[in-house]
Amino acid sequence: MLAMLHLIRFSTSSESNSELAWFVKTGGIKGDLGPQTTINWFRIEKFYGDYKLVFCPSVCKFCKVLCIDVGIFVNGGVWHLALSDVTFNVTFLKG
């Protein structure tokens, strides 16, 4: 089985140094759960010794949160992150 390495870079900067990396950035608005904060609705959760990315929208304090795994969608040979029933496992390596 061929293993593919996808780079996810954590950054506190607003500038991207590489178009080949996905960025997880700090600076989201904690506690402000309106539609304008949809980019803050992702989590990193433990998953069978690895981790997975999860989309968990919550627009009110009393609403039930329905989380959906983030997976891979391939279109024309281009890989995209997408909401999916098939989990995309993530392993973190020390840089």
Does residue 33 register a pLDDT over 60?
no
37-92: pLDDT as tens digits: 555 577 888 999 899 988 887 666 666 767 889 898 888 988 888 888 888 888 88
Cα 86 to Cα 28, 33, 58, 81, distances in angstroms: 27, 26, 22, 11
Give exposure, 59-78, as e/b (b: 16+ Cβ within 10 Å).
eeeeeeeeeebbbeeeeeee
Q: What are phi and psi of 36, to 5 degrees?
A: -70, -10
Name the pTM for this structure: 0.56
Does residue 2 register a pLDDT over 50?
no
Q: What is the CATH number of domain 21-90?
A: 2.80.10.50
